[in-house]
Chain A
Amino acid sequence: MIRIENVSFRHGPTNILHDISLTIPKGGITALVGPNGAGKSSLLSLISRLQTLQEGSITIDGLPVDTTPNRQLAKVIAILRQDSIVASRLRVHELVGFGRFPHGRGRLTEEDRAIVGQSLQQFDLADLADRFIETLSGGQRQRALVAMAFCQGTDYLLLDEPLNNLDMYYARELMRSLRAIADEKGKTIVIVLHDINQAGAYADRIVAMKDGRLIADGAPAELLNTDILESVFGFRMPVEVVDGKPVALHFR
C-alpha cells in the first residue's frame, strides 16, 4: 500500500502540490490524469524518491520513502520517468538486464537471466534483444524502458506517461501487457496518462488532479462523466458508453 499524507511540494516560489493525501492499495492499475502542470509527475517523483520530500509523509508498504535506504526501496518500487535518457552503445537485453541491478549489484545469475528473457517476451522485444538502443524507434525504446522497470521485479511500478511516442497499436499492446501483469502477477501500477479513454479502458481507478490538488477519485464508470471531466480539463465533452465502457469524445 502506498500511503501519501499531507504532502505539499514547492519549486522556488511556485506551489506545485497542495496538501495531497491519497492511499493506493495493493494491486490493480491506478491512473493519474489531469491537464499539463497539474503536478502528476511531481507526485510520482516524490513517491519514487527522485524528488526530496519537503512536507508530509509517504510510505510504501510501511517504508517511509525519505529515510529508507535507497537499495531497499529499489526492490519495492520501480519508476519510469518520461523522456529518460539512455546511454549509447547498449543492447536491448543489456538495458533490460540493468533492471536486475538492485538484486545482484550487477552480477546476473541464471534466475536473473530467466527473468530478463521473460520481460523481453512480455513486452514483445525478443526479436530486438541484440539491437543497440540508439537504432530503435522511439516506441521500441519506450517498450524497452518499460521492460527494464518490469524486470526490476518490484511489487509497485510507477510509469510517467509511458504511452508517449507509441502508435495506436503499441499503446494498446503496452496497456494490455500492464493489465496482464497487474492481473496475473498482482503488481500495483500507478500510471500517468494523457488519454482519458486509455485510463477509462484499462485502469481500475482514476485519480484526477488539477493545479496541484486532487479533485476527483473513483472507478472509471463514476469518473468519466461530462461534469467531472469539465471540472478537470475545463471544457465540456460528451461521454458515450461503447461496449459497456465510457468513452469521452474529447476531440469534438
Chain B
Amino acid sequence: MPDRRLLYLGLAALLCVAAFMTIGLRGNIGFVLGLRAAKLAALLQVSVSIAVSTVIFQTVTGNRILTPSIMGLDALYLFGQMLLVFLLGGMGYAALDPQFKFGGEVLVLMALATGLLLPMLRRRVDMGLMLLAGVIFGVLFRSLHSLLARLIDPNDFAVVQGASFANFNDVRTDLLVFAAVLTLVGAAIAWRARHVLDIVALGPDAATGLGVTWARTVTGLLLLVSALVAVSTALVGPVAFFGLLVVAVAERLVDTRRHAVLLPAAALTAVFILVGGQTLFQHALGNSSTLGVVIEFAGGLVFLLLLVLGSRK
C-alpha cells in the first residue's frame, strides 16, 4: 500500500528532524535551539523545493534521468547572480536588500529558463538530445559565470564566491522568510496540479486529447520549477544529483508515478536524507566530511545506474 509506505516515510523524516533538533544539546539551550531551528527550516525548504522541482521537471520532459540541475538551471541562477554583481559592482550588490535581491534573481531565472527551455519542451524532444543540450547549457553557463568572475575585481568576486558551492553547514538564513513563502506557494501549486501532472506525463498528444492545453501548462510548470530551483540554489548553492537521487529512491519506495503519492514521497525522502545525513555528519562523524560530497557521490552513482538500466530497455 503506497499510503502506509508514505506514513512510514513521514515517520522516518520526523525522526530525523527530532534527532537534528535534540542530539547533543549543551549550553544555552534557547540559543542553540533557535540556531538549529533556522538551519532546519532552510534544510526543509531545500528538500521540498529540490524534490518537487525534480519530479515536475521529469514529468514534463518525460524521462527519469533529467533534473533541473543536470539541465544547468542552477548554473543559470549563479550566472544571473554574477551578472548582477558585474553590472552593479560588489559594493552596490552588497548594499542591496537581500530579500529584494533574491526576488530579482528569482525573476531573472524564471525568464531565462523559460526563454531557453520552452522551445525544446513545446514538443518533447528525444531524450539523448535533451541530455546533450542540458550538458552544453550547463557548461555554457558555468563558463560564462567564470568568465565574468575573471572580469570583475577581486573584492566583488569575494562577494559572490561564497554562493557558488553547495554547503549544507552554512546555509543562508537571511533569506528564510522570503524563501519559505516561495517554497510553500510552489509546493501548494504543485499539489493542486497533481492530477494534471499525471496527465502531462502521458506526453503532448495524449494530454491534448484529454483536454490539457499543453503549451500553457508546460510554461506554467517550468516557471514553477525555476522558482523552486532558485530557492534551493540561493539557500545552499548548486547540488547536481540530489534531486535525481531523491526521486529515484522515492519512486522505488512507493512504487508508483502518480503525483498524489510521488510528490509527498519525494519531499519526505529528501528531508530524510538531508536532515538525517546532516545530523549524522555533525554528531556521529564530527564533521569529518561534508554531506554535500557524499550526496553528490551517491546521486552520481544513481545517475549512472539509471543510464545503464535505461539503455538496456
Interface residues of A (CB under 8 A from B): 48-50, 70-75, 78-81, 84-91, 94, 98-99, 101-102, 105-107, 149, 152
Cβ contact within 8 Å between B257 and A106: no
User: Could you list 9 A-B pairs, sorted by A, with CB under 8 Å?
Assistant: A70-B208, A74-B209, A78-B209, A81-B206, A85-B62, A85-B203, A87-B62, A87-B201, A106-B198
A106-B199 Cα distance, complex, nearest whole Å = 9
Min C-beta distance of B213 to chain A, whole Å: 5
Chain A residues with CB under 8 Å of B64's CB are: 88
Q: A40 to B80, alpha carbons, bound, how many Å?
A: 48
Residues A70 and B213 in contact, CB atoms below 8 Å apart: yes
Question: Which of B194, B210, B213, B256 has a CB less than 8 Å from the CB of A89?
Answer: B256
Q: A70-B208, A152-B210 are in contact. List 11 more A-B contacts (CB 8 A).
A: A48-B208, A48-B209, A70-B211, A70-B212, A73-B211, A74-B209, A74-B211, A84-B206, A98-B210, A106-B194, A106-B195
User: Number of contact residues on B: which range applies?
Assistant: 20 to 34
Q: Which residues of chain A are within 8 angstroms of B209 by Cβ–Cβ distance?
A: 48, 50, 74, 78-80, 149, 152
Name which residue of chain A comes closest to B255, CB basis: A89
Known contacts A87-B257, A88-B257, A94-B258; is A102 also within 8 Å of B210 by CB?
Answer: yes
In the assembled complex, the Cα of A14 lies from the Cα of B87 at a distance in Å of 48
Q: Is the CB of B257 within 8 A of A90?
A: yes
Interface flags, B59-91, vs A, CB<8A=1, else 0: 100101000000000000000000000000000
Q: How far is the CB of B150 from chain A (nearest CB, A)?
A: 44
B96 at the interface (CB under 8 A from A): no
Q: How far is the CA of A54 from the CA of B227 in the complex (A)?
A: 36
Q: Please pick, from B194, B205, B212, the residue contacting A81 in the complex, using a CB distance under 8 A.
A: B205
Q: How far is the CB of B127 from chain A (nearest CB, A)?
A: 11
Q: Which residues of A contact B258 (CB under 8 A)?
A: 90, 94
Complexed CA–CA distance, A48 and B210 (Å): 11
Contact B257 A99 (CB under 8 A): no
How far is A89 from B257 in the complex, measured between Cα atoms in Å? 5
Kindly state whether residue B120 has any CB partner on chain A within 8 Å: no
B210–A50 CB distance below 8 A: no
- Chain A residue nearest to B209 (CB atoms) is A79
Binding site for A on B (CB under 8 A): 59, 62, 64, 194-196, 198-199, 201-206, 208-213, 251, 255-258
- Inter-subunit contact A106/B196 (CB<8 Å): yes
Chain B contacts of A86 at CB under 8 A? 202
Find out whether the CB atom of A87 lies under 8 angstroms from the CB atom of B211. no
Q: Bound state CA distance, A86 and B196, in angstroms?
A: 15
Q: Whose C-beta in chain B lies nearest to the C-beta of A107?
A: B195
Residues of B within 8 A of A71 (CB): 211
Which residues of B have CB within 8 Å of A94? 258
Contact A50 B195 (CB under 8 A): no
Give the CA-CA distance A48 to B212 in the complex, in Å.
13
* Min distance, Cβ A50 to any Cβ of chain B, angstroms: 5
Q: Least Cβ distance of A39 to chain B in Å?
A: 17
- Minimum CB–CB distance from B198 to chain A (whole Å) comes to 7
Contact assessment for B251 and A89 in the assembled complex, using a CB-CB cutoff below 8 Å: yes
For A84, the chain B residues whose CB sits under 8 A away are 202-203, 205-206
Across the interface, do A101 and B199 meet the contact criterion of CB distance under 8 Å? Answer: yes
Q: Which residues of B contact A88 (CB under 8 A)?
A: 64, 257
Q: How far is the CA of A101 from the CA of B202 in the complex (A)?
A: 12
Query: A227: shortest Cβ distance to chain B, in Å?
Result: 37
What separation, in Å, do the CA atoms of A85 and B206 have in the docked complex? 9
Identity of the chain B residue whose Cβ is nearest the Cβ of A148 in the assembled complex? B206
Which residues of chain B come closer than 8 Å to A72, judged between CB atoms?
Answer: 211
- Contact at A105–B195, with CB atoms within 8 Å? yes
A73 CB → nearest B CB, Å: 7
Of the candidates B199, B204, B208, the one having the most CB atoms from chain A within 10 angstroms of its own CB is B208
Smallest CB-CB A-B distances: 7 pairs: A106-B195, A74-B211, A87-B201, A89-B257, A71-B211, A102-B211, A79-B209
Residues of A within 8 A of B198 (CB): 98, 106
Chain B's closest residue to A72 (CB) is: B211
Q: How far is the CA of A78 from the CA of B209 in the complex (A)?
A: 6
Q: Shortest beta-carbon distance, B120 to chain A, in Å? A: 16
B218 to chain A, nearest CB (A): 13
* A86 CA to B210 CA, complexed, in Å: 14
